[in-house]
Amino acid sequence: MRMLSGRWPALLLYYLKDGTKRFSDLRRDNPTVSHRILTLELRKLEHRRDRAH
């Protein structure tokens, strides 16, 4: 498994550990992350997930 680097991936995985969440819920749980960064980081995680399967 590739290491996740950066500030947000580990935090996002923590919030997603219990299952799927809406984008707005993630924004509320992470008020310091911008809309753009959250979008980019979620896309990266999704891309990594798709490549792992």
What pLDDT, in 10s, does the model give residues 16-49? 999 999 999 999 988 999 999 999 999 998 898 8
Q: Is residue 29 part of a domain?
A: yes
Host domain of residue 48: 8-52
pTM assigned to the model: 0.78
Q: Is residue 2 part of a domain?
A: no
Q: Where are the alpha helices (DSSP H) in 1-53?
A: 8-16, 23-29, 35-52
pLDDT at 1 over 80: no
User: CB of 2 within 8 A of CB of 48?
Assistant: yes
Percent of the chain with pLDDT over 90: 55
Angle at 4 between CA 3 and CA 6, to 5 degrees: 135
Q: Is residue 22 part of a domain?
A: yes
23's CB contacts (< 8 A; 6+ apart) are: 38, 39, 42
In total, how many domains does the chain have? 1
Q: Is residue 18 part of a domain?
A: yes
Q: Is residue 1 part of a domain?
A: no
User: What pLDDT is stored for residue 7 in this prediction?
Assistant: 82
User: What pLDDT is stored for residue 3 in this prediction?
Assistant: 54
Q: Is residue 3 part of a domain?
A: no
